[in-house]
Chains A and B, each alone.
Chain A
């Protein structure tokens, strides 16, 4: 049959062209599928209004030495603690290198504002809210699986792997901070 002969004749060039078309069409299909799936996945990420709510200002004046308050930021509690000299000393006297998540107290506060400790009140184990002025180190204690944090919010004992996170914040003046 003539058609048969034709195919054999053009086999080499024809096949190459087919390969190209096949790969091009396949590649295009994969990109198209990705483009269709991504919006379906990304819609689950935080939406613009959720992201917009991300900074707050807090007045520190009412907080006495030896007292802590809890404010809500991005749907999570943030502890702001005005530490006593003894609490600061307790945090600084312990050798940093011996901590599970080595970080000095100085790194966790703003220079010149050493009495103020600002930490996110979310246990780094599985996200429970630790209770302040509790536990073996009088910092925080997480009731869920027993993590103990010190007066710098650093993990000292228990299953949590990391120190309580310090959020991004700045001092607007000595008694006012902006978180976020």
Chain B
């Protein structure tokens, strides 16, 4: 662990007695008070804290929602309406939980792009990065299963389409799908098990978050310059500096968050989910929750993989493989990008390609919500379909990670790095 900047010296007799037998106060003091952080952290470093707040909000609101929710195909939809209409403040708790999930993803996506830009995945923080990805995968599973619980049309058909994806796995696909459903279609057994897992996974996430923070506190935080801390002159304590800064950011987020909760609570949802699930009718246009759209777009962009007119991999399987790869390659990121310079600030080409990637992922998100054969850009009579846009953006996504990063590590001319964090700050102040 990065040593605390000052020792823990409790004045309270009880704390002193307790801490001698179980040094939990020492642990918290080292992690939240005397934890030394680089002086130059900017606001992008607050997003991990915000994610932690949101995990807490999801768990609290989720546990109370579960006191009123009924995980049964015949009653789930009505029980959610009961929460909305009858339960005291039920509408508030539900809207905080559903918008909380969306904000959780916004915050985590920003947190991840921050890590990408500043090279926080590079040594000595590879394990930290990979634990973050484990959290991300668990979040996706949790949110997907949570979305099924209200048992509306979107819940039902999202569950159907996503579970059917596993059917593309050769040989064992059908057995796996039937195992996931507990029947011949998505039905009550599916809903019941999804509720069980949706309840427990957030606590698993909580456990991995503890490991994530532990892995952070061994090397300490990276910083916008991406250079190592040289000594105490480069650092400030977590308390009061980041406690204040992160509290400020929490307030900013709360203002935006509650603007949604109170004024546009269904803005990020889909109206069809207020129609009870009907296994006999599919809605005209089904989409997953918005935070899955970029990956859904990659899934749909991949055509049959053929060699000499012979189909090697059917589009359905190829799409799933591409989607899985788009997530799993992030685990290999520390080894794809071997450039010794961490921060994008000193890597002109990386910086440019990074921002193109951000735009690329946003476009993928738009593509995921569209009908593939519709025209995206009209040119004369015809035009370019969303499918083509999706394919181009998918190629860029993979190209960035698998081609550009390894090449840049070899050929990019990086800018000179400052001597130290404090020197960089002093020279900037001198210029100003």
Contacts and interface: CB of A to CB of B under 8 A. Distances in A.
B373 A146 contact: yes
B161 A44 contact: no
B316 A161 contact: yes
A74 B185 contact: yes
Interface in B157-175: 157, 160-161, 163-165
B182 A50 contact: yes
Contact of A50 (B163, B189, B283, B372): B189
Interface string B313-353: 01110000000000000000000000000000000000000
A145 B299 CA distance: 12
Interface stretch (A13-21, A58-66, A105-113, A125-133): A125-133
A145 B372 CA distance: 8
B184 A143 contact: no
Contacts of A161: 314-316
Nearest to B163: A127
A129 B282 contact: yes
A128 B300 CA distance: 15
A125 B164 CA distance: 8
Contacts of B283: 143
**Interface range on chain A (Cβ under 8 Å from partner):** 20 to 34
Contact of B184 (A74, A128, A144): A74
Interface in A145-176: 145-146, 159, 161
Contact of B189 (A41, A47, A76): A47
A13 to B, nearest CB: 45
Contacts of B256: none
Interface in A45-88: 45-47, 50, 54, 70, 72, 74-77
Contacts of A54: 184
A144 B316 contact: no
A127 B281 CA distance: 11
Nearest to A44: B179
B373 A76 contact: no
B182 A126 contact: no
B79 to A, nearest CB: 21
Contact of A126 (B164, B187, B193, B285): B164
B183 interface: yes
Contacts of B307: none
Contacts of A50: 182-184, 187, 189
A46 B180 CA distance: 9
A143 B179 contact: no
B123 to A, nearest CB: 36
A96 to B, nearest CB: 19
A74 B183 CA distance: 8
Contacts of B284: 143
A180 B187 CA distance: 19
B180 A44 contact: yes
A46 B178 contact: yes
B161 A75 contact: no
14 contacts: A44-B182, A46-B183, A46-B189, A50-B182, A50-B187, A74-B184, A126-B160, A128-B160, A128-B282, A129-B280, A129-B282, A142-B282, A145-B372, A146-B372
Given A126-B165, A143-B285, 13 more contacts: A44-B179, A44-B193, A45-B179, A45-B182, A46-B184, A75-B185, A122-B185, A126-B161, A126-B316, A128-B160, A146-B371, A146-B373, A161-B314
